[in-house]
Chain A
Amino acid sequence: MGNGQPPPAVAETERTYAPHEAVIEASRCLMCDEPPCNKGCPAGVDVRRFVRKIRFGNFRGAARLIRDANPLVGVCGRVCPQEILCMEHCTRANLDTPIDIASLQRFAGDVELGSLAPLPEGLRDRAERVAVVGAGPAGIAAAVELRRAGFQVELIEREDALGGVLAFGIPPSRLDQSFVESELDYVKRLGVSVRLGAHEADPAALLARGFDAVFVAPGLWRAFRIGLPGSDLAGVVAASEFLREVARGGRPSVGARVVVIGGGNVAMDAATTAKVLGAERVDVCCLESYDEMPAFRSEIERAQAEGVEFHTRTKPVRIVGERGRVTGFEGEGIRWKVPGSLAPTNAEEIPGSGFSLPADTVIEAIGQGPLDRYPGLAATDRGFLKIDPETLATSIPGVFAGGDIVSGGATVVQAVAEGKKAAVAITAWLDARGPKGGRR
């Protein structure tokens, strides 16, 4: 820290196995018949099979197997909540501890990074052009699958880099950016044409420009704000903007005391990132109890390990400041009026439970919505797109949608699964439609 450049916050998850360690861990696998791990992966990775490949020394085969099912092999090895997916029902847990599938996947992903991974053989080019709007996990998965099916794919991204939430959301302390870049090289090598810095918010216009189908997966980049008294003070920020700045290499000054409002994974990322940036004390205030918080248990534990303080079952009341700058935060305890609903409107203040915290920065992490309204696409009040759950088709024929803009926010691997599903649906739709104009 001496030269003013803090050390890169390299996460624990960056440590990967040496080959012999990977084989030892893989050889703990019981190689179950009807393995429960396989049922846990939204992206459909054959977990048992890739673990077996590592066990018997076929490392590259393992890398290829996973990349075929999920182009974000290494990323998911780092950010997947394996404890509630593939590892949750690992049979080995009945004996001692589950197989560390996360580490094995990281190992496999590193064997053949995107820049080295072999391209599929016998790719049969098709004439149809498909536009994918948004280069986050859903868009990347869809683009890769559509390209493998032979389509001419254009991946259109508003930002100046691929990755979406991988590049602009998940903090570097959880996901090393140089790694993300090398993994995403595969997308370009596959022959997906990439257009960066292009803001496309009109899918119908893309169809009119000659695309045969459009997949809309732009993610959620508009931060919801609470609208508290004092939220216009300097030092009050939205978590997504804060994390975006850090992900792009920025080191915003947060001061010594930080309050984070929200109980989701983004709030956990904001809290731990504030710690990395030098905050002495970070307080998380959320409506939910520990058990009710939407953040993954592992992320809550990570924040606790970093020394983050939690004020659960509390609601924010106001932000206070002096001379236009935040100096403190006031909240109070709540209970739920009706059991079972975690909606803010269901919260009831507990009289006399008010508290205040000094704060140099207040970060609001209460959720995000779509940046754009898409003309002609059916959507909810908040702008989330409505689709046919089977085909991911929107209200415009030829336009499909998936990822967070539909789900409202889920895991990277869930977005990958939806991108793959969209590619299958789009292929089926184009096959059924036949060549444009009746002949090719």
Chain B
Amino acid sequence: MSRVSLAVDFCGVRFPNPFILAAAPPTDSAEMIARGFDAGWGGAVVKTLGLEHVEVNLVSPMMDGLKYEDKNLIGLENIDLISNRKLNEVLPEVTDLKKRYPDRVVIVSMMAGTEAEWKEIARRVEASGADMIECSFSCPHGMPERGMGSAVGQDAGLTYERAKWVAEAVKIPVLIKLTPNVTDMRPIARKVKEAGAAGVTCINTVKGLIGFDLDTFAPRPDVYGQSTLGGYSGPAIKPIALRFVAEIAKDVGVPVSGVGGIVTWQDSVEFMLAGAGTVQVCTAVMRYGYDIVEELIEGLSLYLEDKCLGSPADLVGRGLPKLVAHEALSREWKVVSRIDEERCVGCGGCAVACRDGGHQSLCFSEERRGSDLERVPVVDDEKCIGCGFCRSVCPVAGCITMVERPAVELAK
């Protein structure tokens, strides 16, 4: 179907397409990953594994969603842990998976404590035939208490040390999955680069508290009357993820596998424009199934064709030169709101937004149009500062646009 090849080279590994199943429940067994590969995913990160003796003691329930109006999964919070499967059980599956799908990329996510443990797992993963290793320095719950997960990723020194242990232990490329639960990820990403890791996976879940039960006063997800802080994912965190990807790609210059809230091919393109060389998806796959990769692949192919681009690589970082510091933005460019009267349905949402959330420059007046009295929006160009909030609330696509402020008459 597609005329454009979606193959990409990422950290020296060839992916048939840039779409990867992130380390999560959808990658907890070879049987599941095989179904994902059959659907079209270019790669998969096997759910995080520890050494056999590490006890993984799960709680239940471990997931809860954020409902917003009619949507029941804008965001997903989990208090799941690393895989409760054993390393010596999963690695033979990896070997078999690579035999069955030699053109797909299998990445194994791992987490450990001591230097010896990190190195042992890394070497065993490499020996299994996996193409890459992803080190989780980022899980925000369950592991930090044991000095692992985001406790590592929040500390540049610990990150450097562990990234170096793993990178030195194996020849296959190593990705470090970083946590967004820091004020600035760039110093940590620099340490990853210095340590010799091939790239970063950005971002893991955002530490959150999904909500409370108003009847029992218990936080959610309710585990026998109690709960804990969890990792928040899904479309709600996309802007946060894009920010970290863009900052790292722009300022650190290390390959980034982008992850966080991707559902559509358009989301994927945005991550690539922000500098991601590959993209990972988890929550959307959990919600809608492996098949959604069909829309990612077909949508990206048609888009590249339209843009006359030969490869997804041509998109990577293309948006970054236009991302500048606030003080570098133009102060000469001034816009005002323009409302298309033909399209306007007269709800007045923009007027409320401007009155109570803006600069009182937009109102509706009743005007006689033929035999009807119609509510017509009126923008006061003098008062409008061009904030753009009215455009954000308008329910009609393309009805409100921001146009360059008309030149002020000199006579005034």
Contact = CB atoms under 8 A, between A and B. Distances in A.
Interface residues of B, number: 16
B298 interface: yes
Interface in B288-314: 288-289, 291-292, 294-295, 298-299, 302
A376 B161 CA distance: 88
- Sorting the interface of chain A by its residue count into under 10, 10 to 19, 20 to 34 or 35 or more gives 10 to 19
A57 B397 contact: no
Interface string B1-45: 101000000000000000000000000000000000000000000
Contacts of B263: 56
Given A18-B397, A19-B397, A20-B397, A58 B298 contact: yes
A49 B293 CA distance: 12
A53 interface: yes
Interface in A1-44: 18-20, 31
B88 interface: no
Contacts of B302: 58, 60-61
A44 to B, nearest CB: 18
A195 interface: no
Contacts of B265: 56-58
Interface SS, A side: helix
A52 interface: yes
Contacts of A56: 263-265, 292, 295, 299
Interface in B261-284: 263-266
Given A18-B397, A19-B397, A57 B292 contact: no
Interface string A353-372: 00000000000000000000
A418 to B, nearest CB: 27
B302 to A, nearest CB: 6
B401 to A, nearest CB: 16
25 contacts: A20-B397, A31-B288, A49-B291, A52-B291, A52-B292, A52-B295, A53-B295, A53-B298, A56-B263, A56-B264, A56-B292, A56-B295, A56-B299, A57-B264, A57-B265, A57-B295, A58-B264, A58-B295, A58-B298, A60-B302, A61-B294, A61-B299, A61-B302, A121-B1, A121-B3
A440 to B, nearest CB: 30
Contacts of A121: 1, 3
B289 A57 contact: no
A49 to B, nearest CB: 8
A121 B397 CA distance: 36
Contacts of A49: 291, 294
A31 B302 CA distance: 24
A150 to B, nearest CB: 18
B72 to A, nearest CB: 11
Contacts of A53: 294-295, 298
B402 to A, nearest CB: 19
A266 to B, nearest CB: 40
B266 A57 contact: yes
Which among B1, B264, B295 has the greatest number of chain A C-beta atoms within 10 A? B295
A52 B1 CA distance: 18
Interface string A404-438: 00000000000000000000000000000000000
Interface in A88-138: 121
